[in-house]
Amino acid sequence: MSFFELDGLTKRFGGLVAVDALSMSVDRGEIVGLIGPNGSGKSTVFNCTMGRYTVSDGSIHFDGREITDAKTHEVVEHGLARVSQESNPIDAMSVGANIKLFTLPNSVTSLRGGASEKEIFRYAARLDLENKLHEQPDELPHADVRRLEVAKALATEPELLLLDEPFAGMNQQEIDGLVEKFEELRDEGVTMIVVDHNMGGLMRLVDRVVVIHNGTKIAAGDPEEIAENEQVRRAYLGSSEAM
Amino acid sequence: MSSDTQTGGPLESVADGYNDRFGHLFGELNGPQFALLIGSLAVLLVAPVWTSLLGVGGLLRTLALASIWAILAMAWDIQSGYTGYISFGHAVLSGGAAYTTAMLVAHVNPDLPFLVTAPISVLAALVIGLVIAVPSLRLRGPYFSLVTFVAGLIFYQLTYAFSGYTGGELGQRVGRIEFELAGAQVTTFDPVTRYYVMLVPMLVIAVALLYVARSNVGMILIAIRENEEAVAAAGIDTTKFKIWSFVLSSIPMGVGGVLLAHFYGTVNPLNFLLVDRSIEIIAMAVVGGMSSILGPIGGAFLVIVLREEVLGVFGVTGRWVALWTVVLLVLVFARDGLFRKLWHVLGDWGRIDGGDDE
C-alpha cells in the first residue's frame, strides 16, 4: 500500500457529486500536483482528507492507517497537515504565538509544553519569518501571511503536507521564493500534494500530476505529458481558464 | 526581557524579582501593576483592621460577599470569557452546589459536618457542569448560550416543582460553617472569621485559575474563541478542551455556591437560581474585563460594593436600576472592562506590556 491512498473517494452534497470515486496514491517523498479547473473538487478532496467533511463513500489511507472517518486533530496527530486556501491566523496572537499554538500537545494537563522560543524561531526561519515573530498577523503583507500558514503547518512536524493554492495572490518573485522553500522541504523528506487551478507555477515543482474535472480523474502523468494532454486542454478550455 | 526597558527604582526591582521567579507562570508585571496587585492584596488581607479603625465594620460583610462573587465571576470567565462559548446559566452550577448542601442537611442528616457536605456539593456542581457541557458544546454561537439559559430556567422551576423537598420560595436553612482546623474551632458566626473563610478560597482559586489561564491551556481556550478550526488544524481536540473549561469552571462555581449558601444561611431560588444571578456573574466579569481572571475579581468587588454600600441611596429596588445602568454604561463605553483599561494604563506607565492575554 502507498504512503497516501484515496480509494474510490466520493463526496456528495445532497444531489451534487463533488468528488466521484476518485482513486489516487502518493509515495513517500513525492510532490504530486492535483489540478483541475475551479469547482472540480480539489479542495473537497483535502477537506475530506482532513476530516472536515464526512466522506460519503470510499476510503482514505495514510501511512498504513485508515483515516477516512478520523477527526481533524487525529489526522494532524497522524502526521498530516494542510495549508488552507484561506489564511486563518489568530489576529489576537503574535506571529510567534500563532506558530507555538501548532506545537502544543493535545493534552488538558500539559500546562507548559510546546515548542521553546528557540524552536519557534527555527520554524519561523524556515519561511524567513524569524524577524516578524512579535508582529501581529494583521500587520503582515499578504505573502508573509501565506508563509505563516506554511510555517504553522510545518510546526506540527508533518510527514505529508497538503498545500491548497499556496501561491494564490502572490507575485512571480514571491512564487519563486516559495517554490524554493518547498523544494528544500522535499529534500528534508516531506511528501506534498499541491492543489492549484493554475498549472504554471506548479509544473516545475511537481513530480507527477493528477487532473480532476467535475470530481473525476481525467488524466495522470508527468508534467510534460499532462501539458500535452488533449482532454486536459478541453477541460480547461471548457471552463475558459488559461493553463 | 523586562529589565532593559525599565526605568529603575525599588518598585521595579521588586517587580523584576517577581518576574524572574514567577513571570513565566502568571505573566510578567511592571512596577505599577505589581504595586496594584500587592496593594489590593494587602488591603484585603488586613480588612478587619482598617474597617474597625474607620468604624465601618459592616463593610466586612460586603467584602466577604464580594469575595464569593469574585469566585463565581472568575469561574465564569475561565469557561465563557476564554472560550467565547458564553454561558447565560452559570448560576445553575453554584445553585446546584448550594441546593446539594441544603438537601443533605435537610433530608439526610442535619448534623453532617461541613467538611462532608462541601466536597459532595462541589462534586454535584461538576456533574451538573458536565451534563450541560457534553451535549451543548457541539452547538455554536447563540444556540449554546440558549441551552445554558434554558437549563437555568429549568433548575429555577424545579425548586418550586419539588417544593416539598426544597422549601419552595422560602428555601431551606443550611446554617453557618463550623469545622475544626488544626485543633481550632472555625465558625462563621464570627464576622472576622467569616470574612477570612470567604477570602482565602477566593485567593487560592485566583492563583490556580491564573496559573491555568497563563498556561498552554489558557492559550488554547483563547484560540478556540478566536478561531476554532485553526485550533483543530493544530492537532488539538477542541471538544476536549471545551469540556475541560467546564470542569475548570464548575469546581470553583461549586465552591462559590457552597460558601454563598453558608453566607446567607438559607438556600432559596431567589438568591441562587433566578436568572438575574447568572447575568450578575456575567456583568461582573465584563465590567472588570473578561478573559483575564483578574478583571472579574475587580468587577465583582466593584459591583458588590456599589450595590451594597453606595447605590442604596436610590432605595431598595432603585439600587438595582442604578446598578444595571452602570453595567450598561460600561458595556457601551468601556467594552473591554474597567480593570483591563486600568491595567493597560499602568502598563504604559511602566512602558512594558503586562501579563495580559491580548
What is the DSSP secondary-structure string of A124-188? Answer: HHHTT-GGGTTS-GGGS-HHHHHHHHHHHHHHT--SEEEEESTTTT--HHHHHHHHHHHHHHHHT
Task: Give the nearest chain A residue to B24 (CA atoms).
Answer: A112
Q: Which three cell numbers stand for residue B195?
A: 470574612
- The verdict on a CB contact (< 8 Å) between A111 and B236 is no
- CA–CA distance from B7 to each of A153, A222, B21, B292 (Å)? 40, 64, 20, 26
pLDDT of res. B349: 78
**Residue B321: what are its φ and ψ, rounded to 5°?**
-60, -45
pLDDT of res. A237: 65
A137 pLDDT tier (thresholds 50, 70, 90): very high
- CA–CA distance from B317 to each of A238, B26, B59, B65, B278 (Å)? 73, 40, 20, 19, 19
B235 interfacial to chain A (CB closer than 8 Å): yes
- The verdict on a CB contact (< 8 Å) between A71 and B235 is no
Chain A residues at the B interface, defined by Cβ less than 8 Å, are 50, 52, 71-73, 76-77, 81-82, 84, 88-93, 97, 100-102, 104-106, 108, 110-114, 152-153, 156
Contact list, A84 vs chain B (CB under 8 Å): 233
Taking the mean position of all CA atoms in its chain, how far away is CA A178? Answer: 13
Rounded to two decimals, the pTM is 0.90
Q: If you classify domain B3-349 with CATH, what class do you get? A: mainly alpha
- CA–CA separation, A192 and B110 (whole Å): 69
- The verdict on a CB contact (< 8 Å) between A104 and B234 is yes
> How much of chain A exceeds pLDDT 90, in percent?
70
* ipTM here: 0.88
Amino acid at B71: I
C-alpha torsion B80→A50→A193→A152, nearest 10: 20
Label residue B251 exposed, middle or buried (CB < 10 Å: 0-12, 13-18, 19+). buried
> How much of chain A exceeds pLDDT 70, in percent?
95
Q: How many residues does chain A have?
A: 243
B4 interfacial to chain A (CB closer than 8 Å): no
Minimal CA separation from B50 to chain A, in Å:
39
Residues forming CATH 3.40.50.300 domain(s) in chain A: 1-79+158-243
- The verdict on a CB contact (< 8 Å) between B227 and A90 is yes
Amino acid at B139: L
Residue-wise pLDDT tens digits, A149-177? 999 999 999 999 999 999 888 888 998 89
- CA–CA separation, B68 and B199 (whole Å): 8
Task: Give the nearest chain A residue to B220 (CA atoms).
Answer: A101
pLDDT of res. B357: 43
- CA–CA separation, B71 and B296 (whole Å): 9
Contact list, A104 vs chain B (CB under 8 Å): 216, 219-220, 234, 236
Minimal CA separation from B224 to chain A, in Å:
10
Contact list, A78 vs chain B (CB under 8 Å): none
B15 pLDDT tier (thresholds 50, 70, 90): confident
- The verdict on a CB contact (< 8 Å) between A111 and B234 is no
Q: Please tell me the number of Cα atoms within 13 Å of A151 on its side-chain side.
A: 29
- The verdict on a CB contact (< 8 Å) between A50 and B233 is yes
- CA–CA separation, A9 and A12 (whole Å): 10
**Beta-carbon contacts of residue A1 (< 8 Å; ≥ 6 apart):** A61, A64
Task: Give the nearest chain B residue to A154 (CA atoms).
Answer: B234
- The verdict on a CB contact (< 8 Å) between B226 and A102 is no
Name beta bridge partners: B172: B267
CA angle B75, B271, B296 (to 5 degrees): 25
Cell 482565602 -> residue: B200
B211 interfacial to chain A (CB closer than 8 Å): yes
State yes or no: pLDDT of B6 exceeds 60. no
CB < 8 Å from A in window 112-131 of B:
none
Task: Note the helical H segments in chain A.
Answer: 42-49, 72-77, 95-101, 117-126, 142-155, 172-187, 223-228, 230-238
Q: If you classify domain A1-79+158-243 with CATH, what class do you get? A: alpha beta
